[in-house]
Amino acid sequence: MPKDSIPLELIDSWRMRIPKGAVPGMLTDGIIYTSAQMLSHVREDNTPQQVANVATLPGIVGSSLAMPDIHWGYGFPIGGVAAFDAEEGIISPGGVGYDINCGVNLVRTELTLTEVQPALEILINTLFERIPAGVGTGGPVKLNTKEINKVITQGARWAVEHGFGWDIDLSHIEGSGCLKEADPDMVSDKARLRGEDQLGTLGSGNHFVEVQVVEEVYDPQRAQDFGLELGQICVMTHSGSRGFGYKICEDYLEVMQGAVQQYAISLPDRQLACAPLDSKQGKAYFKAMCAAANYGWANRLLLVHWAREAFRTVFEKDPMALGMRLIYDISHNIARFETHIVNGKARKLCVHRKGATRSLPALHSDVPEVYRHIGAPVLIPGDMGRASYLLIGAAKAVDETFASTCHGAGRFQSRHAAVRATKGRRIDDELRSTRGIIVRARGRHTLAEEYPEAYKNVDDVVEIAHQAGLSHKVLKLRPLGAIKG
């Protein structure tokens, strides 16, 4: 279908509807959270087509949803959310993505900008030396078959029990950093091989470890609840399940192509390959996906450990004395079984979030006890030159989006287009000279692919989520320095 041919109806200032019937076979409407300012890019990217395509999948409940950071993805759009009936619906690897449990965490410190600024370059260089990063990069942790099985069944707890985290970290991770349905037997030997030496490593592309400072506070009480104030230093980490999760996705996309034939599922796009949730293939993928999710949570906690050790070296203080407490760790590429109220009745659903973050308000039963009184933190990373945000979950998201909100800025240019646009430029020099940001990257083209203007302005994306009531702004974090793969 040509670009701009999908009809969009204005619902309000922050929502557009793709009416059921815009694409043959649609079972429900599509809803895109966006603004007039950002709509032209949504159109240009042709993502409404993907939102409409998802609405054709068997067992979909509610609308096919797209968050404000939506852009083109494999099958499902990145920024897509869709829920499927647990008994009559499907599960699709394209609705989770290749980097299963790609996610973000945030660590606070007691340090201030005044204290860190003189040592910033040494700090970034130390992080760069300590944290393995890049495509195919291995790390110092080597796993045999027995240990990798423990990682993928225990998740973040494995990291803590092996000295790569603190007990208190587990209460500050979504779901305590483990999905109990993980089954090592559903993971191929090739996937396991990729995971043997990549635990505790940073991915390539938009993955990062970033030193940030609290630049603006919108909700002082909530900021205080998180132990944060203006001028305070934080560390944000963005990474996933590395080659382990990628291979699991690759393996099961092949399995799902066969399932589509076996169960006579009609698809508008073969990238939406899926299987019924109650089928052998659907159950196997879910268990393997949970294994990759657990690997991802363990991986990010190891990255937090390396960052804490880098701070110890530079500031000659124990990380606990530096107050390096994990505020939260959250996934944005995952499928979960959740209970939601639909048309006044509780229904068990499999909610696919691909480039979307869970948004849980105060008193929700899935909010960790430590935050039950205020709501779960929502972490929205931006590009390496502008900002990231800490928000909290909102009740309206529970009603409208299966408790979902955006996950980042969202790409504005493809990686190839970004490399072309930055030909002959030194992005690291530009960031240092114009914004005072120090960046280090291992990949030859990483900084070109990830230069700030390759992304939408995260301020605009977050404002839509805030105004639409999908999550509420607490504070803004400005980057001081970053390391990338």
Q: How does pLDDT run across 184-201, given as a tens digit for each residue?
A: 999 999 999 999 999 999
- Put simply, whether the predicted model's pTM sits higher than 0.95 gets the answer yes
Annotated catalytic, 71?
no
Give the mean pLDDT of 455-483.
97
Instruction: Tally helices (H) and strands (E) across the chain.
Output: 15, 19
pLDDT digits (tens, 9 = 90+) for 120-175: 999 999 999 999 988 878 889 999 999 999 999 999 999 999 999 999 999 999 99
Alpha carbons 109 and 226: distance in angstroms, whole number? 11
| 255: region left, alpha or beta (phi > 0 left; psi from -120 to 50 alpha) | alpha
Q: Tell me the domains of the chain and their CATH numbers.
A: 9-484 (3.90.1860.10)
Q: Which run of H or E residues covers position 219?
A: none
Please, which residues bridge with residue 302 across strands? none
Cβ atoms < 10 Å from Cβ of 145? 12
Please, which residues bridge with residue 388 across strands? 477
Task: Enumerate the H helices of 350-409 as residue ranges.
Answer: 395-400
Task: Catalogue the E-assigned strands of 355-427.
Answer: 357-358, 377-380, 388-393, 404-405
Strand 438-441 to strand 404-405: parallel, antiparallel, or no bridges (unpaired)?
Answer: unpaired
| Contact (Cβ atoms closer than 8 angstroms) between residue 179 and residue 293 | yes
Please, which residues bridge with residue 485 across strands? none
pLDDT digits (tens, 9 = 90+) for 286-300: 999 999 999 999 999
Strand 78-85 to strand 345-354: parallel, antiparallel, or no bridges (unpaired)?
Answer: antiparallel
Q: Is the pLDDT of residue 111 over 70?
A: yes
**Residue of 407, 416, 445, 466 marked catalytic:** 407
Cβ atoms < 10 Å from Cβ of 168? 12
Compute the mean pLDDT over every residue in the chain, rounded to the nearest whole number: 96
Whole-Å CA distances, 345 to 28, 348, 410: 18, 10, 34
pLDDT digits (tens, 9 = 90+) for 207-239: 999 999 999 999 999 999 999 999 999 999 999
In this prediction, residue 1 carries a pLDDT of: 43
Strand 208-217 to strand 103-112: parallel, antiparallel, or no bridges (unpaired)?
Answer: unpaired
The model's confidence at residue 43, banded by pLDDT at 50, 70 and 90, is confident
